[in-house]
Structure 1
Amino acid sequence: MLKARIQTAVSLIYPPRCLACGDWVDSDFGLCGPCWRDTPFISGTCCDGCGVALIGEEDGFRLECDDCMEHPRPWQQGRAALSYDGTARRLILALKHGDRTEIARPAARWLARAATTLLADNPLVAPVPLHWSRFLRRRYNQSDLLAKVIAQDADLDYCPDLLRRTRRTPSLEGQSRHQRYTTLTQAIAAHPKHAERISGRIVLLVDDVMTSGATLSACSEACLDAGATAVRVAVLARVTHS
């Protein structure tokens, strides 16, 4: 009761604003009507591999986009909340590089709704890791912020350092698919101290953006090598290939 009163008092002093444009909104950490309409949420039929939107209707069989059919994924199933474009891209860049960590909680809940089917069977939730040097520079891992909210809200086991970067890799931006996969070869591994937690479990990996899938593939293979029975991936946004 006291907590609710404090929250009400805070909302009167600091009314909630739209995450994208700063206008007043009815609820904390949400989007105003125009920004919500301009944000490319993925709904309806989507690829079972990466979550990208597909044309047509579900027919009861596994559906995959051309990219996932051409490049089979090591993970079992994937979902995305947004297409990486417009307002979604601006929000993610603000979260990732602009210290806008307040975006993580509502964004994680958008992702949890998109990834509802991935939360079944009590998966172990873990973020895609940052190398320690990059973490020190950024001071937080945006994937970890998303994963923590998803695990807490769904009452799932959560391990922020389930995986680790074994070496520092250059930015993948601008690299080809082949270069991305080559760059990440043996660059990610399961943390030795968590080997028992992975063995025999389904792992749900959480990341902010999927482009080629190279990073998620490296993480998935690390989990499977450590004894995971299956890996699922949930990404806030999927880059759409034209």
Structure 2
Amino acid sequence: MTGVLFDFSGTLFRIESADRWLRAVLAESGLTLPEHEVTSAAAALEAAGALPGGASPRRVPPELAALWEVRDRTAAEHRAAYTGLSRQVPLPDPALHDALYERHMTPGAWTPYPDTADVLRGLRDRGIGVGVVSNIGWDLRPVFRAHGLDPYVDAYVLSYEHGVQKPDPRLFEIACERLGADPVKVLMVGDNRQADGGAAALGCGVHFVDHLPAAERPDALRPVLDLVDRR
């Protein structure tokens, strides 16, 4: 094996909770709401699927359905899809919907899984190329830099930069090319069986992890090192 590709959200990093997300934006905006209104709005935002990287929408409004299917194709579509979901929830200031979207792109909104650094470091020590392949509408590189993980990533292949979403094999093909790796010698690691499973069409191996809060998933990435050592 010469390369390992990783998904971002739910695989290497976990987004903050909807409650923490909303409270951070309210604090930054200088707004104070009664506690019951904060908890109610956070729950409604979560149910709406408004937090990128968080829970999926319980229901996508018909007027957003077509956009939702292509949300990771461009930065504009990503923002429009998620702020559209957010706007299903009444907030005291309409500007909060854009502020929430901006917040989720900050490094402080993301936490690496407990074993992320050790696994990426272990792959670097083994001489294995590492790529991050993400369906996303913004540049996640600053998140890796802020958490000290950028030195372990050789290539970032982000859907909005190529106009292609997983599971389209073209996105994985670009990643393999950037690593200079034959796809049959590459392992794709992700949390979404449909999207990340698209790598199998190229002949890549695929390994799945569960999208759980960081505290509940301390070592799910460690088997990747065993898989690399066995192949």
Shorter-chain TM-score bucket reads: 0.3 to 0.5
Q: TM-score, normalising length from structure 2?
A: 0.36
Structure with the larger helix share: 2
Higher relative contact order (CA 8 A, sep 6+): 2
Q: TM-score, normalising length from structure 1?
A: 0.35
